[in-house]
């Protein structure tokens, strides 16, 4: 949720609460003011009736709003204004009135003068003023919302441009990150911190990139020397069987270490975003290529490889990474298949699966894509192949699911850019 949307929702939520409270208070105040005005008017009318009786001794009653009645009580008293209701026979309803009464002796005669004024029912007042207040507050809120939206658009324009620059910024870009000043202290402080952070990260990125490349390159040279020395020793006929077996283990370990070094360098390059080219690659063609490349191993293990394609998926990704993805997952299936069993590959429009036989399910399937994790005792297993597969899949938002059923390992790859 955007910040402005959250703010506007808060305005609306608390605005409704304020409206309800204000509505009740305003209506009560209006009701009080109206009654006060009516009471003053009734006092004036009563005073006028008394003056008329004093001057003429006579007054024509107007029921029910102006009445001067003779009474037996000899007193002078002013009664407090009050609400009352009077039945209207014509409309057959009870009508609310505001009433003011005064007892006074005029020219030796006892009178009780009563004046009344019709009132609006409280429900009518509440409904009328609620509508009026709602309209006014709605117009005020709408105007305030439009004003703040326009103001926020002006204030956040530069900030949003800086956000877009941050999104498109890459450490591989030759130009440095440059953020536009906004003129707002908080945003400018944030820009300064981000610029400093990007500079430090860029230096760390460059240093890590150079270290990975240099380390991999420097390690390959002594490893190649060790392999060559081992190959030379193999041709020495004076060595006994145990010595040759030891040299063989050294050679295989060296070869494995060389493979691990290359794999780690590859993972570092993927992390550093050095594979950014995008082409439409055919998974069907790539699988067929690697089937032909591994044909000797397949025949040696008497494996049967079947491939079925319901659709020729053209995946948008770097060709090198596509080949590495298929190579590693296919090599993993060959390595862990039982001799004489079948490897099944199924290609669809938005997914592909690869199935190979197995004695039992993987003990910890959540860890099989971790670096150096392996459940196989195979000496040729480095534990990095599936880590490369996962890294490439994450890079292109490909979901991987593993399952085991009927003594078969099943890997399902759900594709996005297909």
- State which H helix or E strand residue 66 sits in: strand 66-70
Predicted local distance difference test score (pLDDT) of residue 1? 65
Rounded to whole angstroms, the Cα distance separating 12 from 10 reads: 5
> Using omega within 30 degrees of 0 as the cis cutoff, is the peptide bond preceding 418 cis?
no
Q: State pLDDT tens for residues 372-417.
A: 777 665 545 666 778 888 888 888 888 989 888 888 889 999 887 6
Predicted local distance difference test score (pLDDT) of residue 137? 79
Predicted local distance difference test score (pLDDT) of residue 379? 45
Is the CB of residue 99 less than 8 Å from the CB of residue 83?
yes
Q: State pLDDT tens for residues 334-372.
A: 888 888 888 998 988 888 899 998 878 777 777 777 877
Mean pLDDT for all residues in the chain: 82
- Give the bridge partners for 87, in sequence order: 94
Predicted local distance difference test score (pLDDT) of residue 417? 62
Predicted local distance difference test score (pLDDT) of residue 45? 92
Predicted local distance difference test score (pLDDT) of residue 81? 92
Hey, which of 8-22, 137-151, 299-313, 339-353 has the most confident mean pLDDT?
339-353
Residue 282: name the closest of 322, 333, 332 by CA: 322
pLDDT at 217 over 80: no
Q: Is 407 left (phi over 0), alpha (psi -120 to 50) or beta?
A: left
Predicted local distance difference test score (pLDDT) of residue 101? 93
Is the CB of residue 273 less than 8 Å from the CB of residue 395?
no
Q: State pLDDT tens for residues 265-305.
A: 777 777 666 667 778 888 888 888 888 988 988 888 888 88
Specify the fold of 185-271. Helix Hairpins (1.10.287)
Residue 381, classed as helix, strand or coil, is coil
- 225-232: average pLDDT: 82
- 18-40: average pLDDT: 85
Residue 181, classed as helix, strand or coil, is coil
Predicted local distance difference test score (pLDDT) of residue 99? 93
Predicted local distance difference test score (pLDDT) of residue 272? 63
Predicted local distance difference test score (pLDDT) of residue 43? 93
Rounded to whole angstroms, the Cα distance separating 219 from 272 reads: 20
Q: Considering only residues 129 and 37, tell me which one the structure prediction assigns the higher pLDDT.
A: 37
pTM attached to this predicted model = 0.50
pLDDT-based confidence at residue 121 (cuts at 50, 70, 90)? confident
Predicted local distance difference test score (pLDDT) of residue 156? 76
Residue 119: name the closest of 20, 41, 23, 22 by CA: 41
CATH 3.30.565.10 fits 279-414, yes or no: yes
C-alpha separations of 243 from 88, 225, 253, 379, 380 in Å: 125, 19, 15, 19, 21
Give the residue extent of every domain in the chain.
Answer: 3-127, 185-271, 279-414
HSE of 363, CA atoms in CB hemisphere, 13 A: 4
- The backbone torsions φ and ψ at residue 282, rounded to the nearest 5 degrees and listed phi first, read -95, 115
Residues above pLDDT 70, as percent of the chain: 91
């Amino acid at each position: 949720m955007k910040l402005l949307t959250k703010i506007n929702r808060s305005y609306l939520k608390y605005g409704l609460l304020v409206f309800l409270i204000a509505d009740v208070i305003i209506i009560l105040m209006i009701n009080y003011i109206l009654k006060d005005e009516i009471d003053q008017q009734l006092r004036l009318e009563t005073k006028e009736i008394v003056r008329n009786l004093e001057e003429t001794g006579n007054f024509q009653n107007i029921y029910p709003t102006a009445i001067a009645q003779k009474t037996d009580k000899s007193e002078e008293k002013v009664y407090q204004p009050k609400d009352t209701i009077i039945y209207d026979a014509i409309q057959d309803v009870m009508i609310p009135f505001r009433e003011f009464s005064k007892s006074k002796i005029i020219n030796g005669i006892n009178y009780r003068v009563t004046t009344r004024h019709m009132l609006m029912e409280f429900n009518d007042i509440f409904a009328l003023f609620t509508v009026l207040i709602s309209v006014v507050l709605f117009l005020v809120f709408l105007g305030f919302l439009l004003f703040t939206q326009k103001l926020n658009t002006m204030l956040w324009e530069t900030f949003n441009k800086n956000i877009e620059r941050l999104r498109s910024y890459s450490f591989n870009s030759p130009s440095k990150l440059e953020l536009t000043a906004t003129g707002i202290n908080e945003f400018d402080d944030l820009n300064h911190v981000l610029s400093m952070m990007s500079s430090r990260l860029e230096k760390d990125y460059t240093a890590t990139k150079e270290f990975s490349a240099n380390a991999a390159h420097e390690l390959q040279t002594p490893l190649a020397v060790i392999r060559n020395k081992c190959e030379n020793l193999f041709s020495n006929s004076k060595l006994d069987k145990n010595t040759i077996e030891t040299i063989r283990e050294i050679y295989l370990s060296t070869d494995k270490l060389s493979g691990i070094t290359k794999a780690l360098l590859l993972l570092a390059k993927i992390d550093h975003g050095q594979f950014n080219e995008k082409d439409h690659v055919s998974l069907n063609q790539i699988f067929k290529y690697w089937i032909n490349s591994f044909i000797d191993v397949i025949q040696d293990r008497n494996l049967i490889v079947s491939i079925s394609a319901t659709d020729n998926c053209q995946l948008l990704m770097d060709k090198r990474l596509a080949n590495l993805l298929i190579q590693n997952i296919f090599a993993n299936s060959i390595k862990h298949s039982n001799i004489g069993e079948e490897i099944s590959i199924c290609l669809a429009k938005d997914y592909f699966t690869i199935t190979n036989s197995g004695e039992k399910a993987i003990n910890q399937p959540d860890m099989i894509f971790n670096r150096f994790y392996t459940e196989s005792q195979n000496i040729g297993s480095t534990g990095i192949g599936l880590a490369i597969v996962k890294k490439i899949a994450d890079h292109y938002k490909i979901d991987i699911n593993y399952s085991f059923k009927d003594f078969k390992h099943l890997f399902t790859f759900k594709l996005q850019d297909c």
